[in-house]
Structure 1
Amino acid sequence: MPFNFVSGLLHDLWSDLQEPGVLWQIAAITGCLIVGWLLARLIRTAFARRTQDEGILRIGLESFSRVLAPTISLCLVLVARSVLEPTLHINLLRVAIPLLASFVLVRLSFYVLRRAFARGGQASASVVAIEKLVAACVWIGFALYITGLWPDLIDVLEKTILPLGRYKVSLLTILQAVASVMGTLMVALWAGASLEQRLMRLDSVHSSIRAVMARMARAVLILIAVLLSLSLVGIDLTVLSVFGGALGVGLGLGLQKIVGSYVSGFVILLERSMAIGDMVTVDKYYGQVTRINTRYTILRGLDGVESVIPNELFVSGPMQNFSLSDRLLRLSTKVTVAYETDIEALLPLLEEAAATVARVSKDSPPSAVLRFFAADGLEVEVGFMIVDPENGTFAVTSDVNLAIWRVLQSNHIRIPYNQREIRILNASSLPAEKPPMSEEVAPPPVGEAR
């Protein structure tokens, strides 16, 4: 059968080559390809002018243009086949149509995978491997269709029965279910990614609300895709009730921490207690919030180390947010000066020195106060405000300390050392140590303290 089909196809193509009508088919295919490429280029140029300032939409349009050109060409070839079929043999067009359809399917799969999983434009190794697998499956299917093996393969898969418990399912049904679930999931992930990108551009909505809407929309789309794909295959959805009950028991017993982190993630996003870019401290971790996911939050420390914190930790325990209502943060440094220092003249000098640092806020000027009378001197505290806590606090504190040090050095203000006096009580009652008999102790030289 396949040999007869291939030989018949080759014979029809050879017979078409002997007729002048084959030139019309070649001209039609060539013209459809050229017109499809030109129309895709015009459409891309027209949309690029409208979306010149919208980077995300422009990137999506540029990637979809690779799908647009072969799709338009395929539609034009279908129109050409309907026009030439009454008057000519169109065997060449019959080969070109599945070839273009396979090419469109491969490009469309690549586009959906890149939009769903390659957010930054760079595809990972797993995405590239999936793309190669999809391309191989499509081209193998095209080869089976051209050679006539496709009906025989379908018949073999349909007759292969696999026992699944009390039921018997054909291998064809299983493959159709897998393909249906994968296809609908890819479409759902692509739609979720596109919706998330559109939501993130809404500046009028708080970033936490946008994140909640994007997460919920993606979850709903995935659920609808799974249910729709299973119903299309013919699987009774009522059997999922048992699975749902078992899943509920498992969530209640063994997955309490995970479920708590998921719920805490939505609580954080809805109550807006923390947003991306905030500087927070939770437990022993301090850093900038770079990502808020459904289960965990990523904090980037000032040393560049990223910590993955479960969301439950932010809800169940205390958390310090340095930029919740505003980004103004107070820092302070202390210095001890000698008692003979003119403290009333020194405090304004310290305030002016701290104000010379670039990151110190000028709207809330620094303040220097006398804390208390310490054992070794007068302890002075210099407090100052910054408006960029995400840039770290150690560097600006160091700059303020250097400015204070220069003021102390230029005004010859002494920083006292710690002084401790040790007294030995009842020293006369302590036994005197006698030198060994074999050694002679020389008297100390004149002028040396005993």
Structure 2
Amino acid sequence: MNRPLSFDELQALGAALLKPAALTELGLLLGALALAWLLVWRLGKSRMDSQQRPLSVLFGRHVVDGVLFPLLALLLALGARRLVMHWGLPLALFKLAVPVLISLLAIRFTVRVLTVALPESNWVKLVERFVSWVAWLGSVLWITGLWPALMQELEDISWKVGGKALSLRSMLEGGLTAAVVLVISLWISSIIEARLLRNVTTDLSLRKIAVNLTRAVLLLVGLLLALSAAGIDITALGVLGGALGVGIGFGLQKLAANYVSGFVILAERSLRIGDMVKVDGFEGRISDIKTRYTVIRALNGREAIIPNETLITTRVENSSLADPQVLLTTLVQVAYGCDVEQVMAKLAEAVGGVERVLASPAPAVQLSSFAADGLELTVSFWISDPQNGQGGVRSDVNLTVLKTLAELGVEIPYPQRVLHQRTATAP
């Protein structure tokens, strides 16, 4: 069906649906839908577990949730319709089914692309409702034959902008074309992103910047094509570009600085995804680097969103930049009069056996000061997994030190005070 139905054809369609030949069309249509469902189920059987497979445009979380099911159903329905026409039977049910499948394909394609490209967006459900209403309304208007009358009414609503006449129909068609081009651009960029980020290796930051640049270029090209398809002269964007430059220079300076800083961080690899960093007193692991901000997740589960400009202009302590090994220390006091050299050797040996403590560089114990109540020893040891936290390994080392001192019979001194009591003499 390449054109909407007229009123007479609509009446003939209603009569044809009551004829026995409609049962043949119904059987072929149900067969096409069943075959499409079976093919999608077989092809996507290994993708049904969303925890193991990434989001996909063709395969959704369910069999009929992706784009592949309505696409295959539409192709099989078109093939069955040609078969009915070849048999010389009147078309009735397929005149209704084909527009419905086209609307379903448009809805599924738009929603799946937005879900994959913007997985954390709250606008997907709203867009899904809007696209569903527009698609189903267009399908009804097409089937009932009201589409040409509506298009003519929209064409009659026009006004002049400068020296050019614009109609409401041309603006709606241009907006629809622009939306389709942008959705396709998002789809292509999501495919490239999935392929670039398929394997997580040490080059994740480089692939991240490649993904961001690719998406930005594709969206820019898609926007230009969309504006051209909408009938907007792209050369007129020179004035807009100048105004945008002035806006960036004043109001959007911080925002532009964050975007540029994000690309600089990813390019020079001073900060990488997975690094343990400390920024402005907040310590954690970098979980993601966006174009505008960086997400740092602490070991207690809290997350901090740091603008990228802050990471460029302030001091950042990176525990994983050149070497993931981190030196930790703990203090302990022992009583005066003990064999301090033997205690130091035994403590170093005992700490070396603690889990997560590296054997090379080996733990060391130093006599750091002569305190008022005892000899202060500093126990130094290295770990190579700071992302797992420091409190646990420090506690294990302290317990080992306490156990070793108890085995050696060395006391940990506590503060002692001498009280002098004076008695008053009688006058």
Say whether the fold is shared (TM-score over 0.5).
Answer: yes
Distance 1:262 1:14, change over 3 A: same
Aligned residues of 1:29 and 1:77 also touching (Cα < 8 A): yes
Q: 2:105 maps to which residue? A: 104
Q: How much does 1:351 deviate?
A: 1.3
Q: 1:431 maps to which residue? A: none
Q: How does 1:332-371 map onto structure 2 within 5 Å?
A: 332-371=329-368
Specify which of 315, 321, 335 is matched with residue 318 of structure 2: 321
SS at match of 1:414: coil
Where do 5+ consecutive residues of structure 1 fail to align? 424-446
In the alignment, the residues of structure 2 paired with residue 420 and residue 260 of structure 1 have an alpha-carbon distance, to the nearest angstrom, of: 60
Q: 2:85 maps to which residue? A: 85
Aligned residues of 1:368 and 1:381 also touching (Cα < 8 A): yes
Q: How much does 1:36 deviate?
A: 3.0
| CA displacement 1:227-268 (0-9 Å, x = unmatched) | 111111211001111010111122123322222221111111
In the alignment, the residues of structure 2 paired with residue 277 and residue 193 of structure 1 have an alpha-carbon distance, to the nearest angstrom, of: 23
In the alignment, the residues of structure 2 paired with residue 276 and residue 205 of structure 1 have an alpha-carbon distance, to the nearest angstrom, of: 9
Q: Which amino acid aligns with 1:144?
A: L
In the alignment, the residues of structure 2 paired with residue 321 and residue 354 of structure 1 have an alpha-carbon distance, to the nearest angstrom, of: 26
SS at match of 1:350: helix
In the alignment, the residues of structure 1 paired with residue 417 and residue 164 of structure 2 have an alpha-carbon distance, to the nearest angstrom, of: 90
SS at match of 2:361: coil
Q: Which amino acid aligns with 2:110?
A: S
In the alignment, the residues of structure 2 paired with residue 303 and residue 92 of structure 1 have an alpha-carbon distance, to the nearest angstrom, of: 60
In the alignment, the residues of structure 2 paired with residue 25 and residue 286 of structure 1 have an alpha-carbon distance, to the nearest angstrom, of: 66
Q: How much does 1:225 deviate?
A: 1.0
Aligned residues of 1:37 and 1:70 also touching (Cα < 8 A): no
Q: 2:396 maps to which residue? A: 399
Q: How much does 1:218 deviate?
A: 0.6
SS at match of 1:85: helix
Distance 1:60 1:8, change over 3 A: closer
Q: 1:310 maps to which residue? A: 307
Q: Which has the larger radius of gyration?
A: 1
Higher deviation after alignment, 324-333 or 178-187: 178-187
Distance 1:415 1:74, change over 3 A: closer
Q: 1:71 maps to which residue? A: 71
Q: How does 1:51-450 map onto structure 2 within 5 Å?
A: 55-56=52-53, 62-63=59-60, 66=64, 67-85=67-85, 87-118=88-119, 125-162=122-159, 164=161, 168-202=165-199, 206-418=203-415, 449-450=423-424
**TM-score normalized with structure 1 length:** 0.83
Identity %: 39
Q: How much does 1:395 deviate?
A: 2.5
Q: How much does 1:13 deviate?
A: 3.2
In the alignment, the residues of structure 1 paired with residue 21 and residue 151 of structure 2 have an alpha-carbon distance, to the nearest angstrom, of: 35
In the alignment, the residues of structure 2 paired with residue 412 and residue 247 of structure 1 have an alpha-carbon distance, to the nearest angstrom, of: 76
In the alignment, the residues of structure 2 paired with residue 204 and residue 387 of structure 1 have an alpha-carbon distance, to the nearest angstrom, of: 18
Q: How much does 1:60 deviate?
A: 5.4
Distance 1:402 1:15, change over 3 A: closer
Q: Which amino acid aligns with 1:293?
A: K
Distance 1:244 1:386, change over 3 A: same
SS at match of 1:188: helix
| CA displacement 1:376-423 (0-9 Å, x = unmatched) | 432211101111101111232222122212333343323344568999
Aligned residues of 2:111 and 2:127 also touching (Cα < 8 A): no
Q: How much does 1:164 deviate?
A: 5.0
SS at match of 1:201: coil
Higher deviation after alignment, 32-41 or 181-190: 32-41
SS at match of 2:208: helix
Q: 2:34 maps to which residue? A: 34
SS at match of 2:60: helix
How many residues are aligned here? 416
In the alignment, the residues of structure 2 paired with residue 205 and residue 330 of structure 1 have an alpha-carbon distance, to the nearest angstrom, of: 23
In the alignment, the residues of structure 1 paired with residue 227 and residue 347 of structure 2 have an alpha-carbon distance, to the nearest angstrom, of: 73
Q: How much does 1:22 deviate?
A: 3.5
Where do 5+ consecutive residues of structure 2 fail to align? none
| CA displacement 1:176-233 (0-9 Å, x = unmatched) | 2332232222222232222212111245671110000000011011111111111112
In the alignment, the residues of structure 2 paired with residue 27 and residue 417 of structure 1 have an alpha-carbon distance, to the nearest angstrom, of: 92
Distance 1:162 1:407, change over 3 A: farther
Higher deviation after alignment, 290-299 or 95-104: 95-104
**TM-score normalized with structure 2 length:** 0.87
